[in-house]
Amino acid sequence: MLPCVSFEEAELLRLRAETFLRNAERLYAKGEYDLAAFGVEQYCQLMLKYKLLLKTGAYPRTHSLIRLVRELAKAAGGAKEVADEAKKTGERKVVLISFSGHGLLDLANFADVLGFTKG
């Protein structure tokens, strides 16, 4: 049985994330880079939690971007199986995975890569 997803909670996470991003953009334009970076980090946390909630019905109560990204990667899982199956059947599929050994996140491109951008 799949977990019960609270769509109201998911929507609240998404709306709060978008508010943090708008505020970060405003702060960045004013030259308040440290506070803008904090806003971007909050945006990323909330969007990762939003995606996890939709995908799994829950998310860890953490502020660690690395842990949230790892949890989302686990939840997305199956990339190797998809690639192996496509190889067997000859079906063309695109499987996009990013591994980073240094443990740092490129916050300038983070939202764009994960598809959190506006538009």
Helix (H) or strand (E) holding 99: none
pTM: 0.64
pLDDT category at 119 given cuts 50, 70, 90 is very low
Identify the residue whose tokens are 């995908």: 55
Tell me the mean pLDDT in the region 102-115: 53
Residue 47: exposure state from Cβ atoms within 10 A (0-12, 13-18, ≥19)? buried
Higher pLDDT, 92 or 1: 92
How buried is residue 34: exposed, middle or buried, by Cβ count under 10 Å (0-12/13-18/19+)? exposed
Task: Quick: pLDDT tens for 5-45.
Answer: 678 898 999 999 999 999 999 999 999 999 999 999 999 99
More confident residue, 88 or 117: 88
